[in-house]
Amino acid sequence: MRVLITGANGQLGGALQRTAPAWADINAIDVDDCDLTDVPMLRARLVVEAPELIINAAAYTAVDKAETDEALARAINAEAVAAMVAAMAETGGKVVHVSTDYVFDGTAASPYPPDAARNPQSAYGRTKAEGEDALRPEDLLVRTAWVYEAGGANFVRTMIRLMKEREELGVVADQIGSPTWATGLARTIWGLAERQASGTFHHSDDGAASWHEFAVAIAEEAQALGLLPRIPVIRPITTAEYPTPARRPAFSLLDSSATRAFLGDAPVPWRENLRLMLKEEAKLG
């Protein structure tokens, strides 16, 4: 099957390429290969290339910057998705689109199921919701949250760097979610695609943590692997103590039970996957 992966140089794009099944004939592109903001060019290229499956791992993810650059975020997160869908409607292909917990308002008391009402509170969340709305019933939407991967730009690697530099740091303790390893997310996407799934699915690693609890686990696991010489003081702080331009969901847990039932596999605890990622990080040097 001819598969086009967008966002090839990102965390998920790289993981999708590394975990690709034998049936996937992959063409992976990034911004240097195709400008997603040039909708006519994008659509024309897709019609000519006519992939049977597009996995859209590209996104504008600068959450705070999107508050003052919503037009560009919309161009990448929504208008480009609509162009992909239009092209696939013309050639008979399918779109797999990856979205985010930011389409929810973060006020829930239990994990968000795939059919939960959306209420984005940021420009990033709004544009991602608009991208979701461009999909057809036969397309596949996969929402995720708190994604990290070895070698990528993410919370895990940022924390390790800061922990090496500082004796003490404060980390937000009143935002709850589930850290998600991009490799596991990629495997789920391939599994759903192979089974010709359509509609909306959620994927995140099992369990819950605050950013502070995640940071503490990163420190402990990184030190055990020799990635961190010492563990600094990691102080819990509130969201109010660390104001940002964009409003973050206070509660980001996604209900992935339907995904696991569909694929017939078991959820993996987030700390277990964190350990695997850090082992890969250690190998990278």
Kindly report the backbone phi and psi dihedral angles of residue 77, in degrees, each rounded to the nearest multiple of 5, phi listed first: -85, -20
CA gap 52, 2 in Å, rounded: 5
Half-sphere exposure (Cβ direction) of 145: Cα atoms closer than 13 Å: 33
124 belongs to the catalytic site: yes
For 51, the token pair is 């992939």
> What span, in angstroms and rounded, lies between the C-alpha atoms of 243 and 144?
24
Q: Could you tell me which residues come within 8 angstroms of residue 93 by beta carbon, excluding any fewer than 6 positions away? A: 50, 51, 52, 53, 54, 87
Judge contact between 228 and 219, C-beta under 8 A.
Answer: yes
Residue 136 · residue 85 · CB < 8 Å: yes
Q: Quote the CA–CA distance of 114 and 175 in Å, as a whole number.
A: 20
CA distance 184 to 267: 10
The single residue of 60, 102, 124, 148 carrying the catalytic annotation is: 124
Residues annotated as part of the active site: 124
